[in-house]
Chains A and B, each alone.
Chain A
Amino acid sequence: MALPQIKHIEPVTEPIVDAKSYWAMARRRFLRHKLAVVSLCVLALLVLIAIFASQLAPMSPYISDPTAFSAPPSAHHLLGTDLIGRDVLSRLLYASRISLSVGLVSSSLFVIIGTMLGAVAGYYGGWVDTAVMRFTDMILSFPVLMLILVVVSVVGPSLYNVMAVIGLIGWPGVARLVRSSFLSLREQDFVEAAKASGASDAAIMFRHMLPNALGPVLVAGTFGAASAILTEAGLSFLGLGVQPPIASWGNMLNDAQSMTVLHTMPWLWVPPGVMIVVAVLAINFVGDGIRDALDPRMQL
């Protein structure tokens, strides 16, 4: 049987080698996630509102208007006034500062604590690991909100205490994540090499290993910021979070615990609720986008 004659050889087109770095590829994948990109824009807008709240607000959020107590929305007060005559729109804008900064500060705090503890536990292993993880399990076995409520009631409710308490109690999830990736990283050659070249434990942990475990931490931090905002709102709603006259989205909803307010003055509680939903939803979508971008195989 005659072999078919080869007329011409198709020039093999080299597949375009994607020589981009891990982070550049992640950015490209993130930009494909439309919902996440839109959410990022929304989030940026919220941050701008928070920064420029004092320029944007039509009037002071603390001074009450003696001519308008519990007034419905009007041309003068676009979103009406609250029970003691303060402008709801202005309070809403100022509140975005409080709520977003709680999210940022608390989540940074617990990412740092969780990373340190997780890194130490995963790197050293043995009894250090056991001790840290038992402590983590202990914290995890309490309903978080109850624990936060108890601690806040002891240290006293205030903006900084709320930030600190949420940050100090929220770290177990991050610690578990970092520990598990450190456990597998520890066995890899580059760690061996770093050890052989005489690097200190701290240098190995934080300069060599941590950058390889950063992806999941970033994702956990983003989702953590969203849950910190929710927790602050919940605490303030119960009257045990940020205290008036400082406005936060949560404590603006506190008035709505009264049935009269709930029924007859929706302008008092609908706008802050919507703001919480928008902010938390945007952050969660961004987190989802980052997760897809960093590791497409990861599921929720």
Chain B
Amino acid sequence: MISYLIINAAPGNPVTMLLNPNMSAGDLHSLEVALGLNQPVWVRYWEWLIQLVHGNLGFSYVNYQPVLARILRRLPATAELMISAILLSYIVAIPIGVISAVRQYSAVDHVSTIGAFLGFSVPSFFIGLILLYVFALNMNVLPASGQVTVGVVSPSIGDYLSHLILPAITLALGNIGITVRYVRGALLDCIRQDYVRTARAKGLGERVVLYKHALHNALLPVITIAGLQIPVLFSGAVITEQVFGWPGMGQLTIQAITQRDYPTIMGITLIAAVLVVAGNLVADLCYSLADPRIRL
């Protein structure tokens, strides 16, 4: 597991290689010397790597703040958004997936199938814009952007939540579509298995068979999918944060890219990769907790 982490943490490398040649073109020579950019790529990369081991991700080209501090300041907002999106998507998707599987080929199933395809076919920014248009601009019930109301010193929980609703729905929607399909597929597989027939033959009620026997096993692959969804959510967060002016890592990414702030860009990609790997690790651990057949 640790070696996996290291392997995955390393490839700031190709990104660095790509980034550096372009950098020196536009900037002043003195600035280049100050930032150490007149040195060859591999020297800079090596130094970056050494610093990385010491926990230093370098300093922003734009405001000379340490990159790590900049990212850590943005991380909680993104985490808040992603976690609420994940919770929301499972709360919505699992029941729909179950109903859809139990009544396979019914009207409910068809509607949920089409809905699921819509969920992952509609671009998140379009959903975001529609939600903004309807709820923030026309009905005026929810705030349009930001994490809290600007200027409020100690915002209430209600203020936080009302800002969170629209971005969280936007980010969750694609995930809901995919999860519904997986839950449905996994449950359909389980229902046809022998042990479910045995449970029915014992005379257990349909409810017990379904929720205690079938669903428990059907949700196992869903845990794996949850792990795989984390990078997708990160990508979604970049766009969602842009639409809703959410002060998270996604917005920082866009800022850094438009400002050509390469140390920050590299730091973000690295941190994102580490978080993705950590997320997969957590998913693996949950999997072994949920399924006693798997031992670490």
Contact = CB atoms under 8 A, between A and B. Distances in A.
A134 B10 CA distance: 12
Nearest to A148: B235
A222 to B, nearest CB: 13
B133 interface: yes
Interface residues of B, number: 55
Interface centre among A141, A150, A226, A277 (most CB of B within 10 A): A141
B66 interface: no
Nearest to A234: B239
A299 B260 CA distance: 43
B122 to A, nearest CB: 5
B123 A150 contact: no
Contacts of A150: 15, 18-19, 257, 265, 269
B189 interface: yes
Given A151-B18, A226-B121, A299-B189, A276 B126 contact: yes
Interface residues of A, number: 44
| Majority secondary structure, B binding face | helix
A154 B19 contact: yes
Contacts of A151: 15, 18
A284 B117 contact: yes
A263 B236 CA distance: 23
Contacts of A134: 7
Interface in B33-81: none
B199 interface: no
B147 interface: no
A146 B181 contact: no
Interface centre among B121, B124, B186, B188 (most CB of A within 10 A): B121
B246 interface: no
A229 to B, nearest CB: 9
B70 to A, nearest CB: 16
B175 interface: no
B144 interface: yes
B182 A300 contact: yes
A142 interface: yes
B238 A146 contact: yes
Interface centre among A35, A146, A153, A262 (most CB of B within 10 A): A146
B117 A144 contact: no
Given A138-B7, A262-B132, A144 B235 contact: yes
Contact of A146 (B126, B182, B235): B235
A195 B4 CA distance: 36
A136 to B, nearest CB: 11
A143 B234 contact: yes
A178 interface: no
B182 A234 contact: no
B117 A285 contact: yes
B129 interface: yes
A263 B133 contact: yes
A234 B133 CA distance: 19
B102 interface: no
Contact of A154 (B18, B124, B126, B189): B18
A17 B148 CA distance: 68
B235 A300 contact: no
A144 B231 contact: yes
Interface stretch (B203-211, B272-280, B286-294): B272-280
B117 A237 contact: no
B243 A146 contact: no
A281 interface: yes
Nearest to A140: B231
Interface in B104-148: 114, 117-118, 120-126, 129-130, 132-133, 137-138, 144
23 contacts: A138-B8, A138-B10, A142-B276, A146-B234, A146-B235, A146-B272, A150-B18, A150-B257, A154-B18, A233-B123, A234-B125, A238-B254, A240-B257, A257-B242, A273-B130, A276-B123, A276-B126, A277-B122, A277-B123, A280-B121, A280-B123, A284-B120, A300-B181
Given A144-B235, A262-B137, A300-B178, 10 more contacts: A138-B11, A143-B234, A144-B231, A145-B236, A145-B239, A154-B22, A238-B239, A262-B133, A263-B138, A269-B129
The 8 closest A-B pairs by CB, nearest first: A145-B235, A299-B185, A143-B234, A273-B126, A300-B181, A281-B121, A280-B121, A143-B231
